[in-house]
């Protein structure tokens, strides 16, 4: 199961060309199991320009289950992630990223994110990252059960921030 961070959802919904957005498009096309923390849903919806945009994005995101809520122990472990990273010389810019990392560690989710905080956390903790490099290989898609390349890449239209399909222009 893949937990998708707001950094990827925002780029994907805005039609940005990135390895992470392309990987998310492939996962959606292949019906891979994706989850979203409530905080990520909030971060994505905060960026909606109008209530109509927020409603469309909310409806799109509601197709994916929310991560089980954080427990008091998760909040404490998230703070420990921050302190450990700081002790290794990595300054994490967001406590929310520490909590997201803890949720991934707790539930053994792969993380799909485009955020340098997670790069730093991955150096200090066994945070599994989605293999976005696979999307760049021609004719390759992400295998649902084995976590490696197979078959041909899906051709999924990009979604614009307004939730409509199209070229993003």
pLDDT, tens only, 123-137? 999 999 998 776 544
Instruction: List the pLDDT tens digit at each of the 169 positions of the chain.
Output: 999 999 999 999 999 999 999 999 999 999 999 999 999 999 999 999 999 999 999 999 999 999 999 999 999 999 999 999 999 999 999 999 999 999 999 999 999 999 999 999 999 999 999 987 765 444 444 443 334 333 323 333 333 344 443 333 3
Structural domains of the chain ordered from first start: 2-69+108-119+127-163 (3.40.50)
| pLDDT tens digit sequence for 23-36 | 999 999 999 999 99
Q: Among 99, 137, 139, which residue's Cα sits nearest to residue 121?
A: 99
CB-CB neighbours of 164 under 10 Å:
10
Q: What share of the chain is helix, strand, coil (3-state, %, to 5)?
A: 50, 10, 40
Residue with tokens 């998310």: 24
């Amino acid at each position: 199961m893949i937990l998708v961070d707001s950094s990827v959802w925002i780029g994907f919904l805005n039609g940005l060309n990135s390895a992470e957005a392309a990987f998310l498009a492939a996962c959606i096309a292949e019906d891979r199991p994706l989850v979203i923390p409530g905080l990520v849903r909030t971060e994505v919806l905060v960026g909606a320009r109008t209530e109509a945009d927020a409603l469309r994005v909310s409806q799109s995101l509601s197709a994916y289950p929310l991560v089980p809520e954080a427990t008091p122990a998760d909040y404490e472990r998230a703070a420990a992630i921050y302190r450990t990273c700081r002790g290794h010389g990595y300054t994490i810019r967001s406590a929310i990223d520490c909590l997201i990392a803890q949720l991934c560690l707790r539930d053994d989710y792969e993380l799909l994110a485009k955020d340098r905080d997670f790069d730093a956390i991955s150096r200090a903790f066994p945070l599994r990252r989605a293999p976005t490099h696979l999307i760049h290989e021609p004719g390759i898609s992400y295998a649902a059960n084995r976590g490696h390349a197979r078959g041909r890449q899906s051709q999924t239209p990009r979604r614009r921030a307004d939730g409509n399909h199209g070229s993003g222009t």
